[in-house]
Structures are given as C-alpha cells and as structure tokens.
Amino acid sequence: MLHMLHAKEIGARMIVVDPRFTRTAAKADEYVRLRSGTDIPFVFGLLYHIFKNGWEDKAYLQARVFGSDKIRDEVMAKWTPDKVEEVTGVPEAQVFKVAEMLAKNKPSTVVWCMGQTQHTNGNAVVRASCILQLVLGNIGVSGGGTNIFRGHDNVQGATDVGPNPDSLPGYYGLAAGSWKHWAAVWGVDYEWIKKQFADGMMEKPGMTVSRWIDGVTEKNELIDQGPNLRAQVFWGHAPNSQTRGKDMVEAMKKLDLLVVVDPYPSATAAMAAMVRKDGVYLLPAATQFETSGTCTASNRSIQWRERVIRPLFDSQTDHAIMLAFAKKFGFDKELVKNYKMVKPDGDAKWEEPEIESILREMNRGLWTIGMTGQSPERLKLHMKHMQTFDVKTLRAKGGPCDGDFFGLPWPCYGTPELKHPGSPNLYATSVAMMDGGGCFRANFGIERDGVSLLAEDGSYPKGGDLTTGYPELDHVLLKKLGWWDELTDAEKKLAEGKNWKTDLSGGMIRVFMKEHGNHPFGNAKARAIVWNFPDPIPQHREALYSPRPDMVAKYPTHDDKKAFWRLPTLYKTVQQENVKNEVAKNFPLILTSGRLVEFEGGGDETRSNPWLAELQQVNFVEINPKDANDRGVRNGEWVWVKSPTGAQIKVQAMVTERVGAGTTFIPFHFAGWWMGKDMLEFYPEGAHPIVRGEAVNTATTYGYDSVTMMQETKTTLCQVAKA
C-alpha cells in the first residue's frame, strides 16, 4: 500500500472499486461503489468503452493473446452501458470515466484482495481482471500486471511449497510423472510412496480446507473417497476465518480427534471446548521470532529470517512438530533423508531438520516456478547487503549481489553455471532472459480449434535466438534445434527423456536460457478464453444468496456438481430454494465482510495485544443511515444480525455512509462470543484474547467457487434488528 501512496505523490492516479468506502478509497482519485458480487459486469463495462473507442492495444493482442476477438464480441453484445448499470448500479458516465483513466494513464496495474476471489464465480472475476489488463497491453511491463495484496505474511511462499490438495510442491500436478519427479528429488522409492495411499486416491485431488465440515457431516455414500473425515488438524488456521460457523460446531462434535497447532490458543480451542470434553489437543508452535527460514512476498521476492531466540516454554518449530508426527507414523527416515539434523541448545529431547537443508531440497525440485536459484547462501547475502539494492528497480548496484534483484523473485533458475538474477516482472519480453525477462507459458498445447496458441513471429524475449513462438522445452526440442550437444555428458544422462520441469541436472535450462536467451517454458499467447473452466469466457452469475431474484432469472448460477474435490457441491439447488422461499424478502440486506487495519486474520493474536486491542474493542456492523432508520437503530446500539441459516450474532451498530443502502459490513477478525454469549470460560486459563466478539462467519452461508472451492464470504444476506 505504501508503494501506491508514494506513487500518488509523483502523479499516479488511483481508482478504488468497492461496495464499501474504505480507508483505501479515501486516498482514491475516483471511488466506484458497485453492488457486491457484480465485478464481472463492471470490468466488462470498462472493456465496452475501451473497445468502442479503440483504446485496446491491437498489436499486443495480435502478438500475445488468444481469443480476444471472442471477448470483444461477448462484451459488445451483452454488456452495453444500460445492462452494466442495471446489474452493478454504477452509472454509465462513471464507467466511461474509469475506462478512459485506465486507457490514458499507461501502464497501470490492477490490484485485488479477497473481494474478487471469495465468490462462487471468483475464478471468473479474477480472469476478467486479467483480460482487462491484456486488452490494455499492461501485462509484462514495468508498472503493469495484475497483483494481489496478500492478507498474511508468506501466503505466496506457503502456496509455492504445495499445501493445496490438488498439487505437489511448485504446482506440479498429481499425475504419476509429477510424483516420480518428487520421488527422485526426495530420494524415496516411488512404489513406497504409492503404498501410503488408498487405491485411487494418490492422483485424485483431496478436500479443500473450506469444506472440511462437509467431509465430516456429509452422507458417506455421497463422498468420493472411503470413510468420512474423523480427525482435523488446525495448524496456524483460525476457524472464525471459515464460513458456516454454525455447521462447523456440529462437525466439531462428530470428530474423533481435533488438534490445534498454534503459538496461541485460537478460537478453535474455545469452540471445541464449548461442545466436547475430550479428544482436543493444543500443541504450542513457535513464532517467527523463534525460528528461521524463507518468507516469500506477493511479488515472489524471498527473504531469509534469522532466529532471534530459542522457542519459549514447551513450544517447538513447525518442522520439529512435523518430524515428531512422522516418527509416530513411521516415515521419519523418509521425511528427513536429505536433511542435516540439529538439536536445540540445551535440549537433548527434541531435534529438528536444519532449515537450510529443507530449502536446498526445494531448490533441487522447484523447476516449474523457478525456485531453484534461491540458495540459503544467496538469500543471506541479500539480507546482509540490503543497502546495495535500488528501492525502485530492486536491483543491486555493485557489491557482492551486483546485478541481482532483491530476494531473487522467481522464476530464478540456479545451477553452478547459471546465476540468474531473478524476475521482477513476469512475462516481460522487452528484457533479456538473463536480465529477468520472460514470455507467456506454453502450458496448454500449441493450437486450439486450428488457431495457433504460440506467440506471433517477432514477439519474443529480447536477444533470444528463437524469434517466434515455441513450445515448452524438452529433450526432443533441444535435439531438433541442434543444441543437445551443448549439454555435458553428465547432463545428457539426466536430461534424456525429460522436459525442463523434470530435468534435475538443470542442463537443458542452462543451454536454453544462458546460451540462447530463450525461456524454457515456451513462448505462447495468454488465454483470454479458458476452455477447461466452467465458463470459458467469464460470466456474471448471481450469488447463491442474491438480493435480486429478478437478476437470478437472467444470470443464474452453475449447475450442481456431484463430486467436486470429493464432495457434492450445490449451486442451483441452493439458489432456486432461496428464490422459492423468498429469502431475499426476509433477509433484504447484503452482508459482506473484510479487514480492519488494526487486526490480522482470525485476530486471536492481535486482539490479545493490548496496544492493538485498545484500537477496536468491540465488533460492529456498518449499516447505512437509511437502513438503520427503517429499523429504529441508532449508532452505537447493540443489534442482532440474523442469517438465513438460523444463526444470529450480537454486534454494535455503526451507522455510516461507508456502506450504501442495502449493504452491511462486518470485519472478520473477531471471535470469542457465540450468538450473544461470551465464551471466556472455554478458553484455557490465562490465554483468552483481551477483545472478544462475535465472528461474522457464525452467520455466513453456503457457497463455493466453481473452480477453486474458495468459500463465498463477500455476498450473502442478513437482517438487522435491535437487540
């Protein structure tokens, strides 16, 4: 955020689009209030004016984008200004103004947070934003791109190393080839790994954390696996950050085992204690000050943290706890095969893997994203010589890190012969490969419907020997180009039969990048049309709990899915039931949620910090003066926010025009009350947060993204009444 505020000081203009007037909106040159959940119509409304006025980057679209003609046809036919205003509530004049600002102030960046992703069609919202930037030619240029403000430290780093239930580290899929790649990296027999899985499960995506509730409570015959879930581990994860709190409590009752691993007892501990007497364990984990290792920011730059103190009391580092679990399960030798083991000072009982060893193992395998060049030694050198890096370009001028970009943002490919500086901007063809340049990945084949998916002739990374589009690098392509003999004999042995993602020697990448200036993941066009998603062209679909039944008829949600991430997932069934039962009539206010500056995440730690706790001492609902007056509610009074689920939460009313009429907002950082009752008695003695309040997610409803299974938190319905 500071970068954006500094940019404003030198002439950048800022547009904020949000149902709520936020502290960010207060800094904007133009604030746009739209109805929650109508992002795609707004973005396509911008594209309507961009196409109509010829503001699109025609040369860029021709050279680097597949399917933009179909996007144009869709936009011009469906999202005329009257339709955009009907759905979003944003007047045509303002949509035009924003489109013109974007088109005439290039390059520009589009930034989003959870407001785009946490919808039942969040995947399509994000894609629409990417399409907007492609049409304007703003991808792969300094100052452009599509960017995300992460809500937590190291979110990017966490996803990179493979916690998602549909991928291995580095976003390698679950296919046998990916498993064999990692088996080779780990030095563990592939067949041994295979035996750890039930039949048919190894290459099948697992359940997402957003749906663990249904993994426990759904009818067993409807689950695409063996038994229902019987154990749940919350590892640094707050339950009040998940939707359907009322259902979650019922799931907690049915578990055989619930484990909470956290530096501080989260709301999980209190919620579980409220409904059960046994089978719940709290394991104290170390904080970031008590451990060391890497942390990856949203721009893919990596920092090395040094341990400040040994873990206090009985707490242990995450990797020490993982090793303890592995010992109990009997695969500790396989887990730490490549690691040097160390024992904390003065503690003969506990041992843990050396964190540098873990990073080196990651460096050996993470070719897909290019996290192979960020060795512990290089990262520590960056931290030691931070003063040598330019704060704008991020590049070191002189010193031992000369030429590197700070934190070696991936892709940064590393072998002893290849010292890549990192990539500060993805897909930048204007920059040479060995200066951080790149192009779009050829991940999806070389043609579609008879149309080439490869970049046009003349569109390639600066200085590359291949001046046209080309597919992903493998041993066949290297031989066809006549470059195979540039590998050493040792590299040839490892590279034979492999592609750039599975060649552990790194030889093919070295030859392709350093010797010939081309990117190993190919040179293709970006896909404006994604044929393997539910909506190849992003479509507006009303929320399951829509305040506009008239819009549901025009823009219905997806069909139900029988088995999606192993679980039945409902869309039309829920939406049509809501229309039939007139839910919007009985619960006429949109309920959306979001962040405060004062607190972070589930809030257990920050609400336990006396200096932060003082800043916001109660949870509240923002309600527009008109809606408050209609309900006889005054500012500061206690109210019930009632949900279609039957849940209700007691919060203070904040009567404000931050939200428009028909919309309410509650921050999601609170927990410690349960439908009007303080849960103080259920926290471990001396470990309760100073500030406790109702969790908004006690009242949120069913709804999940049709691709990612991300929960719907941004558009549901409620009613507000005086308490």
179 Cβ contact partners less than 8 Å away, ≥ 6 residues apart? 168, 190, 193, 194, 202, 203
pLDDT score, position 153: 82
In a domain? residue 660? yes
Ramachandran bin of 205, using left for φ above 0, alpha for ψ from -120 to 50, beta for the remaining angles:
beta
**Residue keyed to tokens 């931070």:** 386
As a whole-number percent, the residues of the chain with pLDDT over 70 amount to 99
Q: Under a CB-based contact definition with an 8 Å cutoff, are residues 66 and 451 in contact?
A: yes
| Residue closest to 262 by CA, chosen among 240, 245, 246, 277 | 240
| Residue closest to 215 by CA, chosen among 234, 226, 227, 229 | 229
| Boundary-marking domain end, from 148, 168, 196 | 148
pLDDT score, position 348: 60
pLDDT at 532 over 90: yes
270's tokens: 């209190």
SS3 at position 185: helix
pLDDT category, 614, cuts 50, 70, 90? very high
pLDDT score, position 3: 87
Q: Quick one: average pLDDT of 83-106?
A: 97
SS3 at position 682: helix
d(Cα 441, Cα 370) in Å, to the nearest integer? 13
Q: Under a CB-based contact definition with an 8 Å cutoff, are residues 43 and 132 in contact?
A: yes
User: Number of structural domains, the chain?
Assistant: 2
Q: Quick one: average pLDDT of 506-515?
A: 93
In a domain? residue 453? no
Helices (H), 53-150: 58-64, 68-78, 81-88, 92-104, 114-117, 122-135
User: How confident is the model over 321-359, as pLDDT tens digits?
Assistant: 999 999 999 999 999 999 999 986 666 677 889 999 999
pLDDT score, position 490: 94
Residue 710 has a CB neighbour count (10 Å cut-off) of 19
Q: Quick one: average pLDDT of 295-322?
A: 92
DSSP3 helix / strand / coil % (the chain, rounded to 5) = 35, 15, 50
| Boundary-marking domain end, from 133, 148, 163 | 148
In a domain? residue 163? no
Element spanning 280, H or E: strand 280-284
Q: Quick one: average pLDDT of 282-303?
A: 93
Phi, psi of 651 (to 5 degrees): -140, 170
d(Cα 672, Cα 381) in Å, to the nearest integer? 44
pLDDT at 175 over 70: yes
User: How confident is the model over 228-273, as pLDDT tens digits?
Assistant: 999 999 998 888 999 999 999 999 999 999 999 999 888 888 888 8
Alpha carbon dihedral 356, 358, 360, 365, in 10-degree steps, equals -160
pLDDT score, position 190: 97
Q: Quick one: average pLDDT of 684-698?
A: 94
What CATH number is attached to the domain comprising 129? 3.40.228.10
pLDDT category, 414, cuts 50, 70, 90? confident
Mean pLDDT score of the chain = 95
Q: Quick one: average pLDDT of 280-300?
A: 92
In a domain? residue 665? yes
pLDDT at 149 over 90: no
| Boundary-marking domain end, from 148, 178, 193 | 148
pLDDT at 12 over 80: yes
pLDDT score, position 1: 85
pLDDT score, position 213: 97
Residue 664 has a CB neighbour count (10 Å cut-off) of 27
pLDDT score, position 686: 87
> How many Å separate Cα 667 from the centre of its chain?
19
Residues making up the chain, counted from first to last: 723
pLDDT at 670 over 70: yes
465 against 3, higher pLDDT: 465
What CATH number is attached to the domain comprising 679? 2.40.40.20
For helices 267-275 and 245-254, give the axis angle rounded to 10 degrees: 60
**Residue keyed to tokens 């066009």:** 525
> How many Å separate Cα 352 from the centre of its chain?
29
Domain span holding position 133? 15-148
380 Cβ contact partners less than 8 Å away, ≥ 6 residues apart? 304
pLDDT category, 416, cuts 50, 70, 90? low
As a whole-number percent, the residues of the chain with pLDDT over 90 amount to 89
pLDDT score, position 501: 95
Strand partners, 593: 666
DSSP 396: B
In a domain? residue 198? no
Rg over CA atoms, the chain = 26
pLDDT category, 560, cuts 50, 70, 90? very high
pLDDT at 125 over 70: yes
Burial of 614 (0-12, 13-18, 19+ CB in 10 A): exposed
pLDDT score, position 345: 67
pLDDT at 455 over 70: yes
d(Cα 422, Cα 533) in Å, to the nearest integer? 31
pLDDT score, position 238: 85
In a domain? residue 139? yes
User: How confident is the model over 207-226, as pLDDT tens digits?
Assistant: 999 999 999 999 999 999 98
pLDDT score, position 264: 84
Distances (CA, A) of 244 to 80, 477, 479, 695, 702: 37, 51, 55, 10, 7
562 Cβ contact partners less than 8 Å away, ≥ 6 residues apart? 568
Q: Under a CB-based contact definition with an 8 Å cutoff, are residues 117 and 159 in contact?
A: no
In a domain? residue 693? yes
Burial of 106 (0-12, 13-18, 19+ CB in 10 A): middle
Q: Quick one: average pLDDT of 122-126?
A: 97
d(Cα 606, Cα 690) in Å, to the nearest integer? 9
pLDDT category, 27, cuts 50, 70, 90? very high
